[in-house]
Amino acid sequence: MLNSPAELMAAFRGTALDGLPVKRVPDCDDVLVIEWPEPEDLLTGWRAARDVMAVTGRRPVAVSGDDYGIHADGSDVSDDVLHDCNLEFFGPGPDELPELEAASLNPDPWPPLNRWDTDEPEEPLDLETVEHLLDFYQAGPDWDARTVARDLLPGITPSATLDVIQRHLLEKITSDPALSTPLHSDQVLKTSGALDWYVPGRVQLALLPTTSPWLAMAWLYYFGEDDTATLVACLRHWHERWGAELVASWDTMLQFTTTRRPDFGPEALELARQQLSLAGNLDMPQIHLAWDLAHTNAWFLHDRP
């Protein structure tokens, strides 16, 4: 693993990070950061650092802090230490990482995470409730949601939970040729915009002392879940199933890129349930999030006070 700013800058030569200064973080000797000057094009900088992980031994994750690189008197800092910055990282102890690696093998970390109100009977079960679930607005199938809801409502068991209702609706609309055809139309917007990434004013790429896609959370904070072992297990599950990698951590937000997508069906609905259990501020029905996840490689989790 490379530990000095000079070594890391040498490793970044010929990449999009070429010439950008690498800084140490006060009170956190094992993390270094590099300011990325184009927050709106975050993936370019992140990929440049990720592509040389075999050389650096460090995984990049974008973070954001204010007033960095400036002395209290306003003069520029010329050394290799980040000054007057509100960036904070956890410092896992030598025994903690092996424990987290073991915890990451939990094959089913989701039940204790469930905070989404899908398990209570939906009462009253009316046409408006079903119509709302089937109305994807401009981001989904081009159909009359009220007409489809009227056709499907009689088949729903009275006092069914919202979870059961959404699974039933999804099974019906994906198995009925007349209803599934609009799902594949090129005439609709594929995502709602709910998963669009946040763009801060200033960005640093934290160079974490691990190459693991899931152990990166040992140095980071996410408001939506304070149990690092649970987060690590979730990230491992998502990485192995969907090729998900953490790109950015904004304290109340996590942003991922993936290499695989679920089909719009049971897998997408289950993935949506998993994400809603960690992202209370994704204010959308599970079936709508499932649609978005089936049509994008960018994930966005949001949970704030």
Based on the domain organization, do 205 and 173 belong to the same domain?
no
Tokens of 66: 């204010």
Tokens of 88: 């904070």
Based on the domain organization, do 29 and 173 belong to the same domain?
no
**Chain-centre distance for alpha carbon 79:** 34
Based on the domain organization, do 169 and 274 belong to the same domain?
no
Whole-angstrom distance between the N-terminal and C-terminal Cα of the chain? 37
Based on the domain organization, do 233 and 297 belong to the same domain?
yes
Q: Provide the pLDDT for residue 74.
A: 37
Based on the domain organization, do 73 and 215 belong to the same domain?
yes
Q: Provide the pLDDT for residue 68.
A: 39
Based on the domain organization, do 230 and 298 belong to the same domain?
yes
CB 8 within 8 Å of CB 32: yes
**Residues in contact with 157: Cβ distance below 8 Å, sequence separation at least 6, in sequence order:** 164, 168
Based on the domain organization, do 220 and 280 belong to the same domain?
yes
Q: Provide the pLDDT for residue 297.
A: 97
Burial class (CB in 10 A: 0-12, 13-18, 19+), 106: middle
Q: Is 218 helix (H, G, I), strand (E, B) or coil?
A: helix
Q: Provide the pLDDT for residue 187.
A: 62
Q: Provide the pLDDT for residue 78.
A: 42
- Which residues on adjacent β-strands are paired with residue 35? 204
Based on the domain organization, do 298 and 206 belong to the same domain?
yes
Q: Is residue 272 part of a domain?
A: yes
Based on the domain organization, do 285 and 159 belong to the same domain?
no
Considering its fold, how many domains does the chain have in total?
A: 2
204 to each of 48, 217, 301, how far by Cα in Å? 13, 16, 19
Task: Indicate the pTM of the whole model.
Answer: 0.91
- Return per-residue pLDDT of the chain as tens, 305 residues: 999 999 999 999 999 999 999 999 988 889 999 999 999 999 999 999 999 999 999 999 999 975 433 333 333 444 566 654 578 899 898 899 999 999 999 999 986 555 545 677 888 889 999 999 999 988 888 899 999 999 999 999 988 999 899 999 999 999 999 999 888 877 666 899 999 999 999 999 999 999 999 999 999 999 999 999 999 999 999 999 999 999 999 999 999 999 999 999 999 999 999 999 999 899 899 999 999 999 999 999 999 98
Tokens of 253: 């937000």
Q: Provide the pLDDT for residue 35.
A: 94
17 is in which domain, residue-wise?
5-109+195-302
Based on the domain organization, do 27 and 167 belong to the same domain?
no
Based on the domain organization, do 255 and 166 belong to the same domain?
no
Cis check: omega of the bond before 124, within 30 degrees of 0? yes
CB 290 within 8 Å of CB 116: no
Based on the domain organization, do 281 and 227 belong to the same domain?
yes
Tokens of 243: 């090729």
Question: How far is the C-alpha of 55 from the C-alpha of 265, rounded, in Å?
Answer: 40
Boundary residue ending a domain (155, 184, 213): 184
